[in-house]
Amino acid sequence: MITHQNSQSQNPTRVVLLGARGFIGTAIRNLLDAQGISVIAPSSAELNLAEVGVADKFVMLLQPTDTVVMLAAITPDKGRDIATMMKNLTMMQSVCAMIEKSACAHLVYFSSDAVYNAAVSRVNEDTPASPQDLYGAMHYTREIMARSLTKTPVLVLRPTIVYGADDTHNSYGPNRFRRVAQKDGRIVLFGGGEETRDHIHIDDVAALTVRCLLHRSTGTLNVATGTSKSFLEVAELVAKQFNRDIEVITTPRQNPVTHRHYDVTNSIKAFPDFRFIAVADGIAHVHKKTMKAAQ
């Protein structure tokens, strides 16, 4: 559930985007630029959040009227071990330290749906966080660190599986399906692809985030569409985009089937006129954009 501190949309004075070079960060940056909102986006080379004492350096940059969007993290594809978790916590420690020193108008922390227990099939923002791995525990700890900034209005966003043409990750789902379909002419599923998941298009993630910035929203919000599809359905949607036959291959199941559905009532309450991109439309859009870029 989130609360809008600004009942009417109001551009933030300036947005400090940490992790702006990533898939989600780039999309948010582009949308903020398109709306004429001032952004600074220090790179990790300019501002290494994992470096001890970086907070002092960063305080020079931060204004009390700034909105900070914290996306910077070492993602699971680059490490899932304890050392990675500790680096991620150090990064958040730096962010919290600099906000404590300098203050800011609004902090938006990008968490993950990994804070929920994978066995819980239906979640909303009231579902107790119960992370099952270090990555989920890291995000949940960073959420608590953010909320410990009692003088700062904090919003935590927990995105589900995000897809889009510019995604550099290769995790199981629409992005990987499209790449392997293009390369190999086939998509191999885990088991029968029965698991249902909520896949959200990157443009929706950016649009919802910017709305939250404009309303200076606080609380916790899952970033999901409310519609779940099985991996088999998603694979078939991806396969349909190609002008040639793409084989969708099922394999013997190794792990139990789990499902994930989002109750997005709180999103609807927060933004009742918001229109999510249907996964079929989103996959088609990503395919066209990718093919056009390849030409």
Partner 1 sequence: MTAPVIGFCGMTHLGLVSGVSASAKGFSVICFDPDAARVAALVRREVPISEPQFDSLVTKNAERLKFTSAATDLSACDVIYVVPDVPTDDLGRSDLGPVNALLDTVFAVARNDAVVVLQSQVPPGFTRGWQRPGRILYYQVETLIFGRAVERALSPERYIVGCADPAQPLPPAYRTFLSAHDCPILPMRYESAELAKISINMCLVASVSVANTLAELCEKIGAVWSEIVPALKLDKRIGQHAYLAPGLGIAGGNLERDLATVCNYADRYGTDADVVRAWVANSRHRRDWALRTLHREILSRMDDPVIAVLGLAYKRDTHSTKNSPSMALLEHLQLFRVRVFDPVVPASAAPNPRCHGAKSELDACEEADVLVIMTPWPQFARLDPTAIAQRLRGKAVIDPYAVLNGAACRAAGLNYLTLGVQS
For partner 1, the binding residues (CB under 8 A) are: 126, 226, 263, 265, 268-269, 272-276
Question: Measured from the CB of residue 265, what is the shortest distance to partner 1 in angstroms?
Answer: 5
Nearer to partner 1, 170 or 265 (CB): 265
Nearer to partner 1, 81 or 126 (CB): 126
Question: Measured from the CB of residue 283, what is the shortest distance to partner 1 in angstroms?
Answer: 19
Question: Measured from the CB of residue 268, what is the shortest distance to partner 1 in angstroms?
Answer: 5
- The rounded distance, in Å, linking the Cα atoms of 137 and 198 is 21
Task: Give the max Cα distance, the chain.
Answer: 58
| Single-letter code of the amino acid located at 215 | H
DSSP character string of 225-274: -S-EEEHHHHHHHHHHTSSS--EEE-----S-----EE--HHHHHH-TT-
- The rounded distance, in Å, linking the Cα atoms of 211 and 215 is 6
Nearer to partner 1, 67 or 225 (CB): 225
Q: How far is CA 160 from the centre of its chain?
A: 7
- The rounded distance, in Å, linking the Cα atoms of 252 and 150 is 50
Question: Measured from the CB of residue 269, what is the shortest distance to partner 1 in angstroms?
Answer: 5
Question: Measured from the CB of residue 9, what is the shortest distance to partner 1 in angstroms?
Answer: 11
Nearer to partner 1, 167 or 204 (CB): 204
Q: Which residues pair with 247 in a beta bridge?
A: 186
Nearer to partner 1, 9 or 63 (CB): 9
